[in-house]
């Protein structure tokens, strides 16, 4: 397969090895259902459902129609001081499926913006309640919360922070990540041991005084750093410690919301309700960029004071609640309900886990982790060339097997469609095995 010539010079690609890519570009020009099409017409199976985004498949006709209709009816309304019908409808819809007590929704355009919005809300909440001293923010090692300054600061992925080290926001600490000393490689689903890793928050609270901490942010299952499911009881323990110290708990559900764990939100899957949830990706099935921050009524209500004509939260984006994105979101919510997508996702988990863990016997594989429809296979790094083996696997899957998988360094990551067909899933992993067999 070759992709027909495309001039790739001008675009500086995000999170991509640009020079390597441009030697032999991998360019997509079409998609339908579970497949992409390249510029030369080759069909590829998408084993990453977009970028964790497109759970119901590409170009779903109901979303296409909703977007086409909306763009011809109301392309944009000013979002400050007035707004549009679709944004209100979507806010209603999302909060209706959120855990009890989460009643308000603030729109952004991306996950990164949702995270920075959530952090600002946390600071504003405490200040509004007369606890303006609560300014510290706590993240976690190996956490990913996007690339804006707030998210990067609470994030714990070293390469994303390295060149900005002196410019990260002050007053941030990190808990240790959840692959602690007790972690047993090839654990299926949640590790049994490790709830005590949450006590690292107590250590930080003791150091700074818990009364100075505004919020803790974690991904319920870390995604981008390689699929790290929380140990059993860990999230509840974090919740308890936050409650003891009056700290807000933020779940970054940019990946885990909207069915990836077989429920609307990971909060419901784990039975732990945070104070704030950040989302994006599956909110519109990835069709139009959109993020949202969902908050408890108590967080929202704390801002609602002062003269009525005053803006309560000086924050927002030109495109917050964009009507075309909101129309895509409403169509996505309809599909989730009408086609039983979350139930389908849940029913695929066992097969997905079986297939992934069958790689435990492979000579290159050092660990396999999974939860919901999130999966990671760690490859032994090549001597002196970290990431090279993962990249080779990604490219061979693309060129030799017409399969899109993601590599984060030497970790192969999988995000199957929420409505995957089991045969297609099995065939895709046969391809992955052929690729791994062919790699030195």
Q: Which is nearer to ligand PLP, 118 or 364 (CB)?
A: 118
Residue written as token pair 């077989």: 262
Q: Which is nearer to ligand PLP, 120 or 193 (CB)?
A: 120
Quote the tokens at residue 292: 């949202």
Q: Which is nearer to ligand PLP, 38 or 224 (CB)?
A: 224
Least Cβ distance, residue 49 to ligand PLP (angstroms)? 13
Q: Which is nearer to ligand PLP, 135 or 415 (CB)?
A: 415
- Show contacts with ligand PLP in window 153-192 (CB under 6 A): none
Least Cβ distance, residue 338 to ligand PLP (angstroms)? 26
Least Cβ distance, residue 193 to ligand PLP (angstroms)? 24
Cα–Cα dist 87/89, whole Å: 5
- Show contacts with ligand PLP in window 251-280 (CB under 6 A): 252, 254-255, 280
Q: Which is nearer to ligand PLP, 49 or 224 (CB)?
A: 224
Q: Which is nearer to ligand PLP, 242 or 255 (CB)?
A: 255
Q: Which is nearer to ligand PLP, 57 or 220 (CB)?
A: 220
Q: Which is nearer to ligand PLP, 139 or 262 (CB)?
A: 139
Quote the tokens at residue 256: 């885990």
Least Cβ distance, residue 52 to ligand PLP (angstroms)? 6
DSSP code string of 330-358: HHHHHHHHHTTHHHHHHHHHHHHHHHHHG
Mark the segment that binds ligand PLP (CB under 6 A) among 71-79, 143-151, 266-274, 428-436. Answer: 143-151
Query: Is residue 200 within the footprint of ligand PLP (CB under 6 A)?
Result: no
Least Cβ distance, residue 280 to ligand PLP (angstroms)? 5
Which of 132, 137, 177 lies closest to 153 in space, CA to CA? Answer: 137
Quote the tokens at residue 73: 């009816």
| Cβ 406 vs Cβ 390: under 8 Å | no
Least Cβ distance, residue 226 to ligand PLP (angstroms)? 12
117, 224, 285, 419: which one contacts ligand PLP (CB under 6 A)?
224
36, 104, 144, 234: which one contacts ligand PLP (CB under 6 A)?
144
Least Cβ distance, residue 281 to ligand PLP (angstroms)? 7
Least Cβ distance, residue 254 to ligand PLP (angstroms)? 4
Least Cβ distance, residue 225 to ligand PLP (angstroms)? 9
Q: Which is nearer to ligand PLP, 38 or 148 (CB)?
A: 148
| Cβ 355 vs Cβ 425: under 8 Å | yes
365-394 residues labelled b (16+ CB within 10 A) or e (exposed):
bebbbbbbbbbbbbbebbeeeebebbbbbb
Q: Which is nearer to ligand PLP, 45 or 52 (CB)?
A: 52
Quote the tokens at residue 128: 């509004």
50, 79, 223, 375: which one contacts ligand PLP (CB under 6 A)?
223
Least Cβ distance, residue 109 to ligand PLP (angstroms)? 8
Q: 258: Cβ–Cβ under 8 A, 6 or more apart, which residues?
A: 55, 264, 265, 279, 281, 282, 283, 332, 336
C-alpha distances in angstroms, 202 versus 142, 247, 250, 436? 19, 11, 17, 43
- Show contacts with ligand PLP in window 72-131 (CB under 6 A): 110-112, 115
DSSP code string of 122-178: HHHHHHHTT-TT--EEEEETT----SSHHHHHH---HHHHGGGGGGSPSSEEEE--S
Cα–Cα dist 265/273, whole Å: 10
Which of 98, 71, 19 lies closest to 296 in space, CA to CA? Answer: 98
Mark the segment that binds ligand PLP (CB under 6 A) among 119-127, 144-152, 210-218, 261-269. Answer: 144-152
| Cβ 142 vs Cβ 225: under 8 Å | yes
Cα–Cα dist 372/389, whole Å: 26
Least Cβ distance, residue 432 to ligand PLP (angstroms)? 22
Q: Which is nearer to ligand PLP, 224 or 428 (CB)?
A: 224
Residue written as token pair 């706590």: 138
Residues in contact with ligand PLP by CB under 6 A are 110-112, 115, 144-146, 219, 223-224, 252, 254-255, 280
């Amino acid at each position: 397969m070759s992709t027909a010539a495309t001039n790739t010079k001008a675009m500086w690609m995000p999170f991509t090895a640009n020079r390597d890519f441009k030697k032999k570009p991998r360019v997509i020009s079409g998609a339908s259902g579970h497949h992409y099409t390249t510029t030369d017409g080759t069909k590829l199976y998408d084993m990453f459902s977009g970028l964790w985004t497109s759970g119901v498949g590409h170009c779903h006709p109901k979303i296409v129609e909703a977007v086409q209709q909306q763009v011809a009816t109301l392309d944009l309304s000013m979002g400050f001081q007035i707004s549009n019908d679709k944004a209100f409808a979507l806010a209603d819809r999302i909060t209706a499926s959120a855990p009890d007590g989460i009643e308000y929704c603030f729109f952004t355009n991306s996950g990164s913006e949702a995270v920075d919005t959530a952090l600002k809300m946390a600071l504003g909440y405490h200040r509004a309640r007369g606890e303006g001293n609560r300014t510290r923010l706590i993240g976690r090692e190996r956490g990913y919360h996007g690339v804006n300054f707030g998210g990067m600061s609470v994030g714990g992925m070293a390469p994303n922070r390295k060149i900005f080290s002196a410019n990260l926001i002050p007053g941030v600490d990190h808990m240790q990540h959840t692959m602690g000393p007790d972690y047993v490689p090839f654990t299926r689903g949640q590790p049994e041991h490790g709830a005590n890793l949450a006590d690292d928050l107590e250590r930080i609270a003791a150091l700074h005084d818990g009364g100075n901490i505004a919020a803790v942010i974690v991904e319920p299952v870390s995604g981008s750093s390689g699929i790290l499911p929380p140990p059993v009881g860990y999230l509840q323990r974090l919740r308890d410690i936050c409650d003891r110290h009056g700290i807000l708990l933020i779940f970054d559900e940019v990946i885990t919301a909207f069915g990836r764990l077989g429920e609307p939100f990971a909060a419901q899957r784990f039975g732990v309700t945070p104070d704030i949830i950040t989302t994006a990706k599956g909110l519109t099935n990835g069709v139009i960029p959109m993020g949202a921050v969902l908050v408890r009524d108590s967080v929202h209500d704390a801002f609602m004071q002062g003269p009525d004509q005053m803006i309560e939260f000086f924050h927002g984006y030109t495109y917050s609640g964009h009507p075309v994105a909101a129309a895509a979101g409403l169509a996505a919510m309809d599909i989730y309900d009408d086609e039983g997508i979350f139930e389908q996702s849940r029913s695929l988990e066992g097969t997905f886990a079986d297939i992934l863990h069958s790689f435990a016997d492979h000579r290159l594989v050092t660990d396999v982790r999974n939860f919901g429809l999130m999966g990671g296979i760690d490859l032994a790094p090549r001597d002196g060339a970290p990431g090279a083996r993962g990249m080779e696997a990604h490219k061979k899957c693309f060129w030799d097997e017409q399969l899109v998988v993601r590599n984060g360094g030497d970790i192969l990551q999988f995000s199957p469609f929420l409505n995957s067909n089991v045969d297609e899933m099995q065939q895709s992993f046969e391809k992955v095995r052929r690729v791994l067999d062919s790699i030195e």
